[in-house]
Amino acid sequence: MTLMLDAARMEGAIGMREAIDLLEETLKHQAAGRTTVSPKFNTEFDGGAMRILFAADSAAGYCAMKAYHNVKGAGTRYVVILYDLRNGELLAILDGRIITDLRTGAASGVAARRVKLEQPVTIGIIGSGNQARMQLESLASVYRVKSASVFSPTPANRETFAREMSARLGFSVTPVDQAEQAVRGHSVVATASNARMPDPIVKGAWLSECRLLCAVGNTRQQFAEVDEQCFRDAARVIVDSEHAFEEAGELRRAADAGAPPRSKCATLAEIVTGKAEVPAGGLVTFKSVGMALQDLALAARYYELLRDRPGAVTVPEVASLRPR
């Protein structure tokens, strides 16, 4: 039987701190060589694009595929498919929107747990959508936060973000008119915009007081959210996936320019397991492109939590077996 999980059933089942814990455990499996992670497979079509990711975690006993597509003028839809790694059984089909937002926020939380800061901190946020909300919630689950600033190009969106997140998290979030205003002077900065442009939004010259930069908004080769200096000036660059060097335009540009040298770079799995260290001082830049291993970790937990609850919807033989 295959469990069908929609967004309404999944909402609120996993909190941010638990999501961070789940990713940390999965990253330990990755560091131990127990996982397989694919790059993103991208296909453009007339009026949109499709992206597909896959990962397997032999320590957890699952594998998963995520597919998401964007249709111009309509938006993006996500689905995660979870399999039993022992026999290939299709265990669950899950709405992928909540998983994507939560795991992207949680990945920054994993990095933040390793970057020690004098608290309380102040946070600068670029973007006002779901990803930006998850970034602020994740960072606030790790640090004690005094206040935050937010910039996005549409005044109504940043004002709504500031009002709602102030009420939700219990500290002041202030909307500002320029990206530089949102970034300068903060010890933590997160960029989670949906801007699609070759010119970066955030400049390293604005980060003189920043200890942790989480750049999560761009995952495409032709675009950039932060400039090369954000990597050149970093004491440590952390990536959630080795594929980031191919998938993220800003990181490709920085690497091509020799900034940063690979000696400064480490994966999040290496940081979690202590194979690479976070320097005691200086800027730490975390570049996230997302990977199916993160989706797998949360999808498996949703499946385990919700499969036996009253009202669970299952269907038989969605993926019938062809015998050997």
Which pLDDT tens digit goes with each residue over 88-120?
999 999 999 999 999 999 999 999 999 999 999
| 143-172 pLDDT per residue, tens | 999 999 999 999 999 999 999 999 999 999
pLDDT digits (tens, 9 = 90+) for 295-304: 999 999 999 9
User: In terms of domains, do 274 and 209 share one?
Assistant: yes
Residue 179: the pLDDT is 96
Domain match, 241 and 146 both? yes
239 with 113, same domain: the answer is yes
**pLDDT for the residue numbered 218:** 67
**What's the pLDDT at 257?**
80
Same domain, 19 and 131: no
Helix residue spans in the chain (DSSP H): 7-10, 16-31, 97-113, 130-142, 155-169, 179-183, 229-232, 244-247, 249-256, 268-273, 292-306
* Any domain includes 322: no
223 pLDDT above the threshold of 80: no
Domain total in the chain: 2
Question: What CA–CA distances, in Å, run from 268 to 160, 277, 288?
Answer: 32, 10, 9
> In this predicted structure, what is the pLDDT of residue 135?
97
What pLDDT, on the 0 to 100 scale, is given for residue 86? 95
Check whether 130 has a pLDDT greater than 80.
yes
Q: Is the pLDDT of residue 258 over 90?
A: no
Q: Is the pLDDT of residue 123 over 90?
A: yes
User: Residue 199: its pLDDT value, please?
Assistant: 82
> Of 52-61, 190-199, 226-235, which one has max mean pLDDT?
52-61
- pLDDT, residue 162, reads 98
Selected residue with higher pLDDT from 205 and 318: 205
* Stated pTM of the model: 0.95
Q: What is the pLDDT of residue 194?
A: 79
pLDDT tens string 21-61: 999 999 999 999 999 999 999 999 999 999 999 999 999 99
Is 136 inside a domain boundary? yes
82 with 303: CB under 8 angstroms?
yes
Whether residues 7 and 128 fall in one domain:
no
> 225: which 2 tokens?
């959210």
| Residue 277, domain member (yes or no) | yes
In a shared domain, residues 93 and 200: no
Residue 320 placed within a domain:
no
* 321 is a domain residue: no
CA atoms of 81 and 65, how far apart (whole Å):
5
CATH of the domain at 52: 3.30.1780.10
What is the span of the domain harbouring residue 186?
107-290
The more confident residue out of 190 and 324 is: 190
Distance between CA 314 and CA 220 in Å, rounded? 36
Same domain for 114 and 220, yes or no, is yes
Q: Does 18 map to a domain?
A: yes
Is the N-terminal amide bond of 310 cis, ω within 30° of 0?
A: no
Q: Give the per-residue pLDDT at 221.
A: 61
Q: Is residue 324 part of a domain?
A: no
Share of the chain above pLDDT 70, in %: 98
121-126 and 145-151: which strand pairing?
A: parallel
Q: Is the pLDDT confidence value at 198 over 80?
A: no
The predicted structure's pLDDT at residue 122: 98
Same-domain check for residues 80 and 121: no
Residues 6 or more apart whose CB falls under 8 angstroms from that of 79 comprise 66, 67, 68, 93, 94, 95, 96
**88 shares a domain with 124:** no
Query: Does 7 fall in a domain?
Result: yes
CA distance 52 to 38: 9
Same domain, 27 and 84: yes
Q: Give the whole-angstrom CA distance, residue 297 versus residue 241.
A: 15
Mean of all residue pLDDT scores within the chain: 94
Q: What is the pLDDT of residue 220?
A: 72
Helix (H, G, I), strand (E, B) or coil at 55: strand
Same domain membership, residue 71 and residue 202 = no
Supply angle C-alpha 148, 153, 156, rounded to 5: 75
Residue 190 predicted with pLDDT over 90 = yes
pLDDT > 90 in the chain, percent? 84
Measured N-to-C along each axis, helices 16-31 and 97-113 cross at an angle, to the nearest 10 degrees, of: 70
**Whether residue 132 is found in the same domain as residue 263:** yes
